[in-house]
Structure 1
Amino acid sequence: MASLIDPLIAFVSAHAGLAYFTLFLAALLEAVPVVGSVIPGSTIILALSALVPGGELQLEWVLAAAIAGALLGDGSAFWIGHRAQREILSAWPMTNYPRLIAQSEAFFHRWGVLAVFFARFVPPIRAFVPVTAGALGMAPLRFYAVNIPAILVWAPAHVLPGVLAVSALHEYAGISHHTGLGKYYWILTVAGLALILALASWTIRRRYGGRLIEPTPERIRNDFR
């Protein structure tokens, strides 16, 4: 993966417009069923965010690109599921990923509508939850009421760790942005993703204390509509 992303980072760092488009595309593709489970969107976003302290990219546009891509990706996947209903879950290429489909449905059975929020922070089912929400009949307004706040939290959670870490390297380690950061991209990526997953896990445990919400058809219908 490093052999693919390192040249990408080097290229887009010299082309700001392409960098923002890459951020947008990475966030969008993460929400596409099947594709999102193999595209390292979070890694790309975190790595590109490391270009903000050096001035190659602007923080507000990085956040805007990530938010816009995630909104379009999640929204498109949801409406595909909403129109096709459960048939989409048994159609190609979804049938090649029965385990992820089952995990997505189990996620809804456990967390109800809040599955849309929590799944934003849990790869790879993040790519399957929006389409599953539509297929299971979640009302559009209810989906967006949870999805939009989730994305507004998810984007800074992915972008800011890289920005803050590189800023700290500039400030306290005396490392030049142009000559010394290449070997730190993957350290920052792993540390940032670990922080995001730890925060998501802590939030879930604090909110529910590990208690299982028993799935019943009536509960799911009432929760979704």
Structure 2
Amino acid sequence: MNDILTWILDAVSTVDPAIRTLLAGIGMMLETSVLVGLIVPGDTIVIVASTAVQGPAQFVALVVAIITGSLLGESIGFALGRYFGPRIRRSRLGRRLGEKRWASTEAYLKKRGGVAVFLSRFLPVLHSLVPLTVGMSTMRYRTFMAWTIPACVIWALAYVGVGAAAAGSYRELSEQLHFAGYIFVGIIAAFSVLVFVAKRWLHRVEARHMSTDDESPS
């Protein structure tokens, strides 16, 4: 496994750090602005890019690129929702997503407000739909940014930190331990399981909150 993993990590590392960081930022921008996140999750983009991080400067640069790309993408998504939201919703892609999904996102945002914006960064599908949906709502851009900035910062630090730590640990141990590759895979797998469980738990909590609100008297 070490040989295969070393080849993969080396392939990522051969890309110029500036280009790699820029591509990761662009990937994050596209994820939330034009619904690319429904096809290629930002998690994958960041984990792959972070495995090539070497040194504090590259770590900070990648985190800043991820945050900047995410905020640019969400800002574009907000603007698209504000000016073209209904048209996008009725488009071929919008219809493929399903009116039920649009309606549930709209209802979630209406009931939870800024909290929905913050939590959507950590929930699948929602983080791609929320910027567009917010743009179609009455929420101001300033309010939207106030809730999404801290979420993007936390998300970027977590994913870049885990990817860089896993790759760094592997590089330090690969020449000493023949099973170092399994350590790398174990770290990524453990983080993935933790994220999956957390997302499921958060989804259940929010679904329960929504059903409680629906049952409460107006």
TM-score by length of 1: 0.74
What's the offset of the Cα at 1:93? Answer: 2.3
Deviations 1:170-217 (A, max 9, x none): 55xx2259x9877776654443333334445666778x794335269x
Percent pairwise identity:
27
Q: Which amino acid aligns with 1:139?
A: R
Deviations 1:134-163 (A, max 9, x none): 112221111111011111111112111122
Query: Against the structure 1 CA distance between its residues 96 and 16, is the aligned structure 2 distance closer, same or farther, given a 3 Å change threshold?
Result: same
Contact residue 67 and residue 151 of structure 1 kept, 8 A: yes
**Hey, what does 2:132 align to over in structure 1?**
131
**Hey, what does 1:3 align to over in structure 2?**
none
Contact residue 33 and residue 128 of structure 2 kept, 8 A: yes
Contact residue 46 and residue 162 of structure 1 kept, 8 A: yes
Deviations 1:8-56 (A, max 9, x none): 865441121221122112211221343220013211211221222x559
The 5 A counterparts of 1:209-220 are: 210-212=208-210, 214=213
Q: What is the root-mean-square deviation in Å for CA atoms of aligned residues?
A: 3.5
1:195 aligns with 2:187: no
What's the offset of the Cα at 1:128? Answer: 0.9
The 5 A counterparts of 1:1-225 are: 10-14=10-14, 15-52=16-53, 54-55=54-55, 58-98=58-98, 99-170=100-171, 174-176=173-175, 187-199=186-198, 210-212=208-210, 214=213
Q: Which amino acid aligns with 2:192?
A: L
Structure 1, gaps ≥5 residues long: 1-5, 220-225
Query: Against the structure 1 CA distance between its residues 22 and 191, is the aligned structure 2 distance closer, same or farther, given a 3 Å change threshold?
Result: farther
Comparing 99-108 and 26-35, the one that deviates more? 99-108
Query: Against the structure 1 CA distance between its residues 83 and 209, is the aligned structure 2 distance closer, same or farther, given a 3 Å change threshold?
Result: closer
Q: Which amino acid aligns with 1:95?
A: R
Number of aligned residue pairs: 207
Quote the Cα distance in structure 1 between the aligned partners of 2:158 and 2:106: 25
Contact residue 50 and residue 166 of structure 1 kept, 8 A: yes
Query: Against the structure 1 CA distance between its residues 18 and 96, is the aligned structure 2 distance closer, same or farther, given a 3 Å change threshold?
Result: same
Structure 2, gaps ≥5 residues long: 1-5
